[in-house]
């Protein structure tokens, strides 16, 4: 019997949760355990880090990737821990669920799944084993990368990972980074810069619209790396 292919989705809305990693990791573990006990082929758990649930798919890269996989027929199951991970707003959550169902896929909210006691016990056990293994793998991997002087995690806009695991400037993107920093230096607000980049069709890493959060991240990273300091106007 062919296993149904699934994608998980997680989201946290605060920078503190992204840095601590607790909430996202907990969601990944719970979704992974549920997929295993349910007999689904889990392809990935896509997560939006530090993004409000009030934003739609144009401003949530992971959600956009998830819905693209659903629309293309790549997956038939979407798993979330709770419905509010899709969106805090009920209308937006309902819209996303409608998109999923109209594409022929099924949305499963773990907290609404009505699991029997045996399944809950197995899920808890699988989650604990996965948590311990994941923590161990992460510690070893990070230690090895640091010893080799390599970076890890998502490659930021404006850079590309080189063969040695470090970061080099990405032609094309780095020019946009300098443009953003210059605009910020001249007093432009984050939202204004994002609107300008979108209106002039400057491409983002994933091809969506620019957001103030994306601009803020680029400016702060540029400042840390020695470019001119950003102004403090919001």
Question: Pairing mode, if any, of strands 106-109 and 167-169?
Answer: unpaired
**pLDDT given at position 26:** 83
**What separation in angstroms does the CA of 50 have from each of 20, 21, 62, 178?**
11, 11, 12, 24
Query: What confidence score (pLDDT) does residue 8 get?
Result: 94
CA distance 184 to 176: 12
- Give the Cα separation of 212 and 234 in Å (integer): 9
The span from the CA of 228 to the CA of 234, in Å, is 17
Q: Is 146 exposed, middle or buried (0-12, 13-18, 19+ CB in 10 A)?
A: exposed
Per-residue pLDDT of the chain (234 residues; tens, 9 = 90+): 688 999 999 988 764 444 444 478 888 888 998 898 889 999 999 988 776 666 766 778 888 899 999 999 999 999 998 888 888 777 888 888 999 999 999 999 888 777 677 766 776 676 667 667 666 666 666 666 555 555 555 678 888 877 766 778 888 899 999 999 999 988 899 999 999 999 999 988 877 889 988 898 888 888 766 665 444 444
> Is residue 6 classed as helix, strand or coil in its secondary structure?
strand
Residue 21 confidence (pLDDT): 46
pLDDT of residue 232: 44
The pLDDT assigned to 167 comes to 75
The whole-number pLDDT of residue 4 equals 92
User: Which domains are delineated in the chain?
Assistant: 5-112 (3.40.50.1390), 159-224 (no CATH)
For residue 25, the model assigns a pLDDT of 82
DSSP label of 154: P
């Amino acid at each position: 019997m062919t296993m149904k292919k699934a994608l998980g989705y997680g989201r946290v809305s605060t920078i503190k949760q992204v840095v601590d990693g607790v909430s996202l990791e907990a969601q990944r573990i719970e979704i992974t355990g549920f997929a295993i006990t349910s007999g689904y082929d889990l392809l990935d758990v896509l997560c939006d880090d530090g993004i409000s649930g009030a934003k739609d798919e144009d401003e949530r890269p992971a959600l956009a990737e998830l819905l693209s996989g659903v629309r293309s027929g790549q997956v038939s199951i979407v798993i979330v821990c709770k419905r509010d991970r899709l969106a805090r707003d009920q209308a937006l959550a309902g819209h996303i669920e409608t998109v999923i169902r109209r594409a022929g896929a099924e949305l499963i909210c773990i907290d609404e799944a009505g699991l029997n006691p045996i399944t809950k016990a197995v899920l808890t056990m699988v989650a604990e084993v996965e948590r311990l293994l994941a923590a161990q793998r992460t510690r070893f991997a990070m230690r090895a990368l640091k010893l080799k002087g390599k970076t890890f995690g998502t490659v930021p806009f404006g850079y590309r990972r080189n063969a040695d695991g470090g970061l080099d400037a990405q032609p094309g993107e780095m020019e946009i980074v300098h443009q953003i920093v210059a605009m910020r230096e001249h007093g432009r607000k984050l939202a204004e810069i994002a609107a300008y980049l979108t209106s002039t069709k400057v491409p983002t890493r994933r091809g969506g619209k620019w957001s103030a959060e994306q601009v803020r991240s680029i400016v702060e990273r540029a400042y840390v790396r020695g470019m001119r300091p950003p102004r403090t106007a919001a």
